[in-house]
Structure 1
Amino acid sequence: MLHSGKYESVHEYFRKMKKSGESLKALTYKVLVRAFWEEGRVNEAVEAVRDMEQRGVVGAASVYYELACCLCFNGRWQDAMLEVEKMKRLRYKKPLEVSLTGMIASSMDGGHIDNCISIFEHMKAHCVPNIGTINTMLKVYSRSDLFTEAKELFENIKGVDHGGTTIIPDGYTYSAMLEVSARALQWEYFEYVYKEMSFSGYQLDQSKHVTLLVEASRSGKSHLLEHAFDGILEAGEIPHPVLFTEMVFQATAQENYERAVTLVNTMAHASFQISERQWTDLFEKNGETISQDILEKLLDAVGHCRMASEVTVSNLSRSLRSLCRPGSSGDLPRANSCIEDTDDPRINTNSGKIAGNRSAYMLTSSANMVDGNLELDEDPFVNRTSITPDVSLVNNSSTNRESDDPDATSSNGNSVNGLDVATNLLMKRGCFC
């Protein structure tokens, strides 16, 4: 009843239990408190727990914890501390730091940022915060654009013995700090956190960090994008479509057409496709960086190299021809003219791993190890446009792509599930004229 939102049924059932004289248990009151909380009836939730105490029902710690979180969600953290004191006297209870962390999270969900900070300060005086607490507070600071506070907390926890407990940052810690740094446009610190995360063995979550990487790249940190791209490939994973297109864009803007064509050839065999419209939008929105002359040279490179017979390549060729001046392409052969184009505004993707040799290194790595230290090479090019890729273009539920969009597959039916994309890129490094 509670999970389905039938709160009146919960209350009616509770009234029947009381009327029949049936023994009420602490769990019953916990459900009742939760129902009142979800209805926004905070005072009734408090009265329910007081009724439990008056009836002599031995309250479980979970009842007081539920009420404390309810109060925090509604901005009453000091009242919640009274429930915590009662909870501390019970035998079976959560560790205090766990309970207080949950209360911080509830305050944050309720939009009471100042209360989160107050609970955290109270917590430090009574127990040692754990990594879960730190991560929750970093999220609080991120939502409030409190970069300085987040940075201070992040720096203070590292390598410090907190009452016999050493707090070690985990993947979520680094993820939260990357988000805080990006929101504050603190790209130098973003790079610092990224490097430390890499040293600690954590890899970027593509679903969360792809836009952060692109923003960093367009703010002078393109070497981070390349390092992440290479790391994803080395792990045997398929880079996010937005990472691929951004890498092509960066290579084109630097007039490294060989690299751009190599990337496009490799992208062609991945389990997603880029439409002609998406290619055109990419170039048009960044017209200040990529000139007409650059587009013509890219078209020339595409036309004179052995290209994959896939939709993504065909769409790129068509986009470039439409963008270039009439007659500028001369007698260049039309790549993959036998392939039907698709202007589907979505990028269809399937999740999957790269088959075959996991150690194949698809691109020259932009990271070098010098005396055991990671050196990330600076990229001289900085694209200072304000275009942010639309990650919503990625549709991760396209397992039925062939039936839903017959034009979205190439004539030879290749898909990433049957190809070693990493090895494929290495082979294509020799395809240039």
Structure 2
Amino acid sequence: FQKMSENVNHISSKEDCKDRVIPDIYTFNTMLDACAAKQRWNDLEYVYKQMLHHGYHFNAKRHLRMILDTCRAGKGELLETTWKHFAQADRTPPPLLIKEMFRMKLEQDDHAAALSCIASHCSSESLVFSHKAWLNFFKENAHRFRKGTLVSLIHEGSILISRNDSQNPIFQNLITACREFLRTHITDAGIDQTEALSRLQSETALKF
């Protein structure tokens, strides 16, 4: 596969193609499937980047699960690469990729980037962004987020909602689900965060 990839650099005319074999999309997908099956994430990342470099595009049916699996394995760079690929092609990422990017940014305490990726790409018609879906999201990822992170998310999300003339249903679903999650999953150790949440909400109400 490495030799096939390098062959592309030596092709400048149709005549060169006669003596050299270059990878096509089937070759890339076969390699990606093999890497994913063996959980060889570094190799998968290399093959995937080579696929994009050779002019082939992300295919949700073939590549979505791979990208999500690499993220769950702690390899977020591939998601970042895919995100840039969509931006350069002026395409909208699939809802599950948007939500995964949101999760990754929120886990990094980058609330602005997390909210931005939703504001820029989401469709309010997608069930992926319903109140129930967001609540399940917080439950499934409870071990990834600090309570303080979620408190800050509610604060910043509430400010965005207040600044918009029209209410964004996605933000509304997100914030109400996050509040419900904090209220129903709070522990004694989280009393300080609850008080901080109430204080931030009061400050936001006074400002707007």
Q: Which has the higher helix share?
A: 2
> Residue 258 and residue 272 in structure 1: after superposition, are their counterparts in 2 closer, same or farther (change >3 A)?
same
Question: Which residue of the other structure, out of 170, 193, 203, is the alignment partner of 1:312?
Answer: 170
Q: Which residue of 2 aligns with 1:275?
A: 130
Q: Does 1:299 align with 2:175?
A: no
CA contact (8 A) 1:174 1:197 kept: yes
What CA distance in whole angstroms lies between the structure 1 residues aligned with 2:122 and 2:196? 25
Q: What is the CA–CA distance in structure 1 between the aligned matches of 2:56 and 2:4, rounded to whole Å?
A: 18
Q: Residues 12-411 of structure 1: matches in 2 within 5 Å?
A: 154-155=1-2, 157-158=4-5, 159=7, 165-269=19-123, 272-273=126-127, 274-305=129-160, 306=163, 309-325=167-183, 328-330=196-198, 332=201
Q: How many residues align?
A: 178
Distance of aligned partners of 1:205 and 1:332 in 2 relative to their CA distance in 1, 3 Å threshold: same
What is the identity percentage for the equivalent residue pairs of Structure 1 and Structure 2?
Answer: 25
Whole-Å separation in 1 of the counterparts to 2:63 and 2:71: 12
Partners of 2:72 and 2:24 in 1: CA distance? 27
Residues 352-400 of structure 1 show CA distances to partners (whole Å, capped at 9, x for unaligned) of: xxxxxxxxxxxxxxxxxxxxxxxxxxxxxxxxxxxxxxxxxxxxxxxxx
Helix, strand or coil for the counterpart of 1:220?
coil
Aligned-pair CA distance for 1:270: 6.2
The question of whether the paired residues in 1 share the 8 Å contact of 2:154 and 2:178 is answered with yes
1:311, CA displacement in angstroms?
2.0
Q: Output one character per residue of 1:152-174: Cα deviation in whole Å (capped at 9) or x when no partner.
A: xx3465539xxx54221112211
Structure 2 partner of 1:416: none
Unaligned runs of 5+ in 1: 1-153, 336-433
Q: Equivalent residue for 1:403?
A: none
Q: Which has the larger radius of gyration?
A: 1
Corresponding residue number in structure 2 for 1:339: none
Hey, what's the Cα distance between the residues in 1 that align with 2:70 and 2:63?
Answer: 10
Q: Deviations over 1:130-173 (max 9, x none)?
A: xxxxxxxxxxxxxxxxxxxxxxxx3465539xxx5422111221
Could you tell me how far apart the structure 2 residues matched to 1:157 and 1:259 are?
38
Q: 1:318 to 1:215 in 2, by over 3 A?
A: same
Instruction: Give the superposed CA RMSD.
Output: 2.5
User: Aligned in 2, Cα 1:175/1:270: closer, same or farther, shift over 3 Å?
Assistant: farther
Aligned counterparts of 1:267 and 1:219: Cα–Cα separation in 2:
25
**TM-score between the two structures when normalised by the length of structure 2:** 0.76
Per-residue deviation, 1:269:
4.4
- C-alpha contact 2:134 2:177 (8 A) present in aligned 1: yes
